[in-house]
Amino acid sequence: MARTYNVVTYGCQMNVHDSERISGLLEQAGYVRAVPADDTPDIVVFNTCAVRENADNRLYGNLGRLRPVKDKHPGMQIAVGGCLAQKDRGEIVRKAPWVDVVFGTHNIGALPVLLERARHNAAAEVEILESLDVFPSTLPTRRESTYAGWVSISVGCNNTCTFCIVPALRGKEKDRRPGDILSEVRALVDEGVLEVTLLGQNVNSYGVEFGDRYAFGKLLRACGDIDGLERVRFTSPHPKDFTDDVIAAMAETPNVCHSLHMPLQSGSDDVLKAMRRSYRSERYLGIIEKVRAAMPDAAITTDIIVGFPGETEADFQRTLDVVREARFSSAFTFQYSKRPGTPAATMDGQLPKQVVQERYERLVACVEEITWAENKRLVGETVEVLVAVGEGRKDERTGRMSGRARDGRLVHFATEAPGTASMASQTRPGDIVHTTITYAAPHHLNADGAPVAHRRTRAGDAAEAGRSPRTPGVLLGLPTIGAPPAVVAPTAGCATH
């Protein structure tokens, strides 16, 4: 029997996409995904995040809980990859000696070889590279969605934000060639995918490696020429690199969604300077003004950090001022988390927890007041929804389904009018529904009437058939590995870790 695996993912969209590659690599090597009810897969891979301190705590907590499980199941292997692995390296094995493999952000493709080597040698394998071995998108990928796909356009980051550890862990920016990106997008569309999200640590600096500062706008327009591609999103841009040609490409390319996630981090120019963000609040608000002039229906979301070292009450008030002026449709709000190895970790003016918490609560209240008001403006409007899986936690109880509107807002919608036969059996993830908004909350919209229209799609057909896209890749320099044999538990003795 083939050995089973499970991948546990922490962190950002980049990590989610990397986990799709990890799954693709393992399946190419002969492993099969464990069924949800299987709590003892042969291999557990943790794809980690290092942006916040609680990511460390979650990893080591989960590793501790797995130790007795592994002790009872000889042959089980545990691998740790991602940003935290790149940072902690051999420290992971020192803290959790029952871990079999540690691999970094630059050598995802080596995982099957490292697992086999660790199994053969009965010893932990720690392999961390300092630069990219193979561009990750050349690796095989097991896509999690039939209707939406991530496509990396670059990896790494050339910025030096004082709070961020990512550039140290993912390296300098490396850009893919436009033709390679568009080929991957077409391959996904050929399998029925309707929506792609272009991924990069800083998407609108794309082209820096080959000397074209307008490359990202050109890439958006090129995506508009791909038949069958209905939605294009991207994340995340940096305000310092945002150019007018990208706004024009968004407005003029029909399949590019009018949604923009652009991190603010702080509304205070003094704090932005300390963060080394290289733009100021006036520049940020100017971009938003241009976006809304070109696309009045644009939904703009952001990231904000509260409690950065040295932040004063006046600085915080300026953040609230910018939030009120920007009118975000959503915001990811964070309390500053000290990360060893970043310049901000040793700055003077580290704030007491209670001060940060109080400001955080005021920020959340301000954001929710605005997002609720912005959402209420959509009541009575008919929106297009791409039906999704897992977006609505209460769907089963309420009888609704859920998905995202073109502007990225979450919509919970009824599949029937009250007193009529249900359309739920006919509406599949990946289908397109037009429905009228009847209620607004700060973080979602409801549509409780019958859908205005329902279009069945190839993505819906794939979801109904239980198929997900698989993007083949090229394993440069890696040997082929056959399906590993099942490990038979010994009849006597015990494993020590």
Binding residues: 12, 49, 83, 157, 161, 164
Q: What is the largest CA-CA distance in the chain?
A: 74
Q: How many helices (H) and strands (E) does the chain have?
A: 15, 23
* Tokens standing for residue 374: 């912005």
Backbone angles phi, psi at 335, to 5 degrees: -85, 135
| Burial category of 297 from C-beta neighbours within 10 Å (exposed 0-12, middle 13-18, buried 19 and up) | exposed
Q: Are strands 154-155 and 174-175 parallel, antiparallel or unpaired?
A: antiparallel
Phi, psi (deg, nearest 5) at residue 183: -65, -40
Structure tokens of 154? 């670059």
Is residue 72 within 8 A of residue 490, CB to CB? The reply is no
Q: Is residue 175 a contact partner of residue 208, using CB atoms and an 8 Å limit?
A: yes
Separation of CA 390 from chain center: 15
Cα–Cα dist 497/485, whole Å? 22
Q: Which DSSP state fits 386?
A: E
Bind-site residues for [4Fe-4S] cluster: 12, 49, 83, 157, 161, 164
The DSSP annotation for 291-350 comes to HHHH-TT-EEEEEEEE--TT--HHHHHHHHHHHHHHT-SEEEEEE----TTSGGGG-S-P
Classify each residue of 356-369 as buried b or exposed e, where b means 16 or more C-beta atoms within 10 Å of its C-beta. beebbeebeebbbe
Distance CA 26, CA 30 (A): 6
* Residues 6 or more apart whose Cβ sits within 8 Å of residue 336: 163, 305, 306, 307, 308, 309, 344, 351, 356
